[in-house]
Amino acid sequence: MTAWLVGIWLVLVTIVGLNGIAGGVAAFLHASRSKRSRGGRTFLASAVAGFLPASSIVAIAIVGATEDTTETPMALVAIFGMCFAVATLISVPGAIVVANKLESPGEDYRAFE
């Protein structure tokens, strides 16, 4: 039972962390006056957040290249792609929320425009 609770906790923390990273990248792109549209910033922020956990596969490939392993390069590419895709999809809501809030702030902020 304890293993399930730890597993669920790790999944929730990972989801929150990925959404936080995607939101932060979306805010950075907005603050840097990027020429991208809101959708482009959302996609780029999600892709950056998805690349972070997937990049650990690159480290495994480098370590595996120095040792004699049975892992083929195509298997590592497939694992990298799946990890990247899942992490990117998980981080989309955080990027969307932050990008939308920064594009259209609430009525409190419109009073000064």
Instruction: Convert the pLDDT of each residue in 62-78 to its tens digit.
Output: 676 666 656 677 777 78
80 found inside a domain: yes
Q: Is the pLDDT of residue 3 over 60?
A: yes
3-state secondary structure of 37: coil
Q: Do the beta carbons of residue 38 and residue 100 sit within 8 Å?
A: yes
In a domain, 53, yes or no: no
Instruction: Evaluate whether residue 71 is within a structural domain.
Output: yes
Residue ranges making up the domain that contains 87? 60-103
- Give residues with Cβ within 8 angstroms of 84, minimum separation 6: 50, 51, 54
Given pLDDT bands bounded at 50, 70 and 90, which one contains residue 112? very low
- Flag whether 43 is in a domain: no
**What is the count of structural domains for the chain?**
1
8 A C-beta contact, residue 29 and residue 86: no
- Give the Cβ contact number of residue 11 at 10 Å: 11
On whether residue 5 sits in a domain, the answer given is no
**Domain-embedded: residue 41:** no
Whether residue 43 contacts residue 32, with contact meaning beta carbons closer than 8 Å, is answered with no
Residue at 99 is within a domain: yes
Is 67 domain-assigned?
A: yes
